[in-house]
Structure 1
Amino acid sequence: MKHPLPAQPRHIGVLRLSALGDVCNLVPTVRALQRQWPEARITWIIGKGEHSLLAGLSGVEFVVYDKATRLAGMRALWRELADTRFDVLLHMQQALRASVLSLGLKAGVRVGYDKARAKDAQHWFTHRQLAPHPRAHVLDSFLDFARLLGVEDLSLAWDLPVPEAAHDEALALTGDAPYLLMSPCANPRLRNFRNWSAEGYAAVIQHAWQQHGLPTLLTGGGSTQEREKGERIHALCDPGAVIDAIGGTSLKGLLALIARARAVIAPDSGPVHMANAMGTPVVGLYATTNPDRAAPYCWQAFVVNRYPDAVRTYLHKSLEEIPWGQRVRHPDAMSLIHAEDVIERLEALLDRAAATHPERELPDDET
């Protein structure tokens, strides 16, 4: 017998801890729930870094879990929510750690992914599963939770809060001058292989500088890998073409910078989805991950997509022969992307922006 879903939930729990791009893609689902049930209380259990990005999201109570605290952090969170019972818990994190965390939460019904999409046996930890949705984009998979609950209006909205201090942080780096924003590195975890070459990035920066007079702001975390990548890119470019802010911004400051940029260029990583959420044109660079599943949702037409080539070259298979969402974990996969590919997509974005947003025209009438 299926557990019944609440027709009018009073308290909705959302369990999604990470990552930056994923939590950006989840916000439209939260907004859809708020439109359907404006009086409902929404509590989102979220990771520490992800909370710093979304803090202040209207109508949402956040409970922060720091995964570095491991079991001690879980126990502290369980104590914090000991007197809380959700009408429905949306278990939206496909990881065993999150499923274990969910065991200490009280809920009338727990909703998770269907068996085909559930990783780490997540379906064992839930009462109700989503209807199958083969080959779904991550954002659409999140919206499937709202669909299951009977939400009718699934239109996309974000409205991410950016405090004044973050705008001041951005202005201190760029002033009022137009710029591109480039985040060269994805998360530096083991076998990620999502980063493009310094030479490729530099060629795109040089094009934007020489053809349009647009400098490029480099952003990223403060890891050694990211700083070294930024230094190599900077060394290959003309003086004035690069503003190096790697390791020098908060996440809210990065949101403000993205909001003001002419366009964003980055591999499959948080910044492409942050740009999507802020309505900023974005060129996503994809070879190791499938953009049909994980591209910046509103800018899929401007992705540089070498994933099919990577599957053929390094997995020796066709797209039809591999599981949906399989990654190509090969260090040379991103080399299939050429500077000309990125420049062509960038030019298409700049042309589109000039046509639809005249206030974003390039300097010196170089549109």
Structure 2
Amino acid sequence: MMANPIAGPLLNKQSLNNRSAPERILIVRLSAVGDTILTLPVLCALRDRFPAAKIAWVVGKGASDLLRGHQDLDELFVLSKDQTASPRAYWKFLQSIRRWKPDTVIEAQGLTKSALIARCSGAAYRIGLSCSEFEGREFSTWLNNHLVKPEHDQVVLRGLELLRPLGIEAPEVEYRVPRDIQAIASVDVQFRELAVPEHWGMINVGAGWPSKIWPAERYAAVARHLGERWGLQSWIAWGGHEEGKIAQAVVAASDSWARMMPPTNLLELAEWIRRARIFVGSDTGPMHLSVALNTPTVALIGPMPVERVGPLGALHRSVQRDRLSEQERSNRKSDHRPMLSIQVDDVTEACDTLASQSAVADRLAYCDDPHGAGPHGAGPHRLRAA
């Protein structure tokens, strides 16, 4: 175990390797869909190492649907905005966690709000990352009592390093995203009604930050390339009014190679992504979901370091030209320059590189009948976190 001596005290200096195996483990990761997906390998690695343990997760309402029904999870505590806005409701929520009696907490968010939940859980061992630009922030290093100094840059691998004090070293990166029966049935109907072809790609035009939005005319050029070069119709994913307008602009400029997806919930979106031959989009939740579902992914990386947020694995490609310096990253949610520096050729070349790989060739194979039908699932995602 490695700790940051200046970020906060180690309130309990007992080595976790010298105690018995944890029996009740709580993961705390409250934040958005993408961050929740990036933490799933922690859950899978814990289950593989401690098959008899009870494992729970504290998550925000927006990402909770992705965790319900996960094969490795025993309990889910969902924190809503209404609960955080009411001291009484929030206290009752904390008490429900405390009654669950965790003995070990993996505090994977590194903020005061998440570390406070860990502290109030009553767990004796609260593991978090030491202070850095993106983790161990605010008062989290004072509330967690076992701090790990990560050695990797990539966010998934950094999260898995939280498990080192529990004797888990270099686990395989697995997500095991559950499938929802209702979502499968709903998407089956959508595919039939829309005559979705067997071979098609997905382009996601939205993002949580304005700085991660790529121009509609460039996405349209990518759609034309996928159609003319690989015979792939592109289906455009979107959410909300503004993203809908971007999606419409992409379709209008695609020379009929792109169509808008219907409105979907999160589980239906996951089912669409499972069936895509290729996914193109920026650093946001749907892109990380595509990686977790083992769909070949071209990730457009804007303001954040590609070493941190770029996808792992040979099935995926990251595209980044410019990036913000550490001093400039205070404006990372609004500075468009890194995304605008990415050119159409950068993205189409990444698509072609993926297409040339034998592991992806079957998914990108040209279809003589562009109106054929047939869903396509994804195999297991296994990667050694060396």
Q: Which is worse superposed, 271-280 or 100-109?
A: 100-109
Is there any run of 5+ residues in structure 1 with no aligned partner, and where? 316-320
User: Partners in 2 of 1:206 and 1:343 — Cα distance?
Assistant: 10
User: Partners in 1 of 2:110 and 2:286 — Cα distance?
Assistant: 22
Q: TM-score, normalised by structure 2?
A: 0.83
Of structures 1 and 2, the one scoring higher in RCO (CA 8 A, sep 6+) is 2
User: Partners in 2 of 1:106 and 1:51 — Cα distance?
Assistant: 23
User: Partners in 2 of 1:344 and 1:359 — Cα distance?
Assistant: 17
1:2 is matched with 13
Q: Which amino acid aligns with 2:186?
A: E
Q: Is 1:228 the equivalent of 2:245?
A: yes
Q: Which amino acid aligns with 1:139?
A: V
1:143 is matched with 160
Q: Is 1:347 the equivalent of 2:352?
A: yes
Is there any run of 5+ residues in structure 2 with no aligned partner, and where? 1-11, 371-386
User: Partners in 2 of 1:165 and 1:49 — Cα distance?
Assistant: 18
Q: Which amino acid aligns with 2:96?
A: E
Give the Å deviation of 1:365. 10
**Contact kept in structure 1, 2:203 and 2:280, CA below 8 Å:** yes
For residues 158 and 122 of structure 1, do their structure 2 counterparts lie closer, same or farther at Cα, with a shift above 3 Å needed?
same
For residues 357 and 56 of structure 1, do their structure 2 counterparts lie closer, same or farther at Cα, with a shift above 3 Å needed?
farther
- Aligned to 1:83, the other structure's residue is in SS state helix
**Contact kept in structure 2, 1:87 and 1:108, CA below 8 Å:** yes
Superposition pairs for residues 119-198 of structure 1, below 5 Å? 119-130=137-148, 132-134=149-151, 136-152=153-169, 154-174=171-191, 175-188=196-209, 192-198=210-216
Match of residue 275, structure 1, among 290, 294, 309: 290
Q: Is 1:16 the equivalent of 2:33?
A: no
**Contact kept in structure 2, 1:310 and 1:328, CA below 8 Å:** no
Q: CA RMSD in A?
A: 2.5
**Contact kept in structure 2, 1:289 and 1:328, CA below 8 Å:** no
2:268 is matched with 253
Tell me the alpha carbon deviations over residues 250-276 of structure 1, each in whole angstroms, 9 at most, x when there is no partner.
Answer: 111111111110110010001111111
Q: Is 1:63 the equivalent of 2:77?
A: yes
Give the Å deviation of 1:54. 2.2
User: Partners in 2 of 1:359 and 1:179 — Cα distance?
Assistant: 9
User: Partners in 2 of 1:133 and 1:158 — Cα distance?
Assistant: 21
Give the Å deviation of 1:176. 4.9
Q: Is 1:205 the equivalent of 2:223?
A: yes
Give the Å deviation of 1:359. 6.0
Q: Which amino acid aligns with 1:78?
A: L
Give the Å deviation of 1:7. 3.0
For residues 262 and 147 of structure 1, do their structure 2 counterparts lie closer, same or farther at Cα, with a shift above 3 Å needed?
same
For residues 356 and 294 of structure 1, do their structure 2 counterparts lie closer, same or farther at Cα, with a shift above 3 Å needed?
closer
Q: Is 1:336 the equivalent of 2:341?
A: yes
2:368 is matched with 364
Give the Å deviation of 1:284. 0.3
User: Partners in 2 of 1:198 and 1:39 — Cα distance?
Assistant: 49
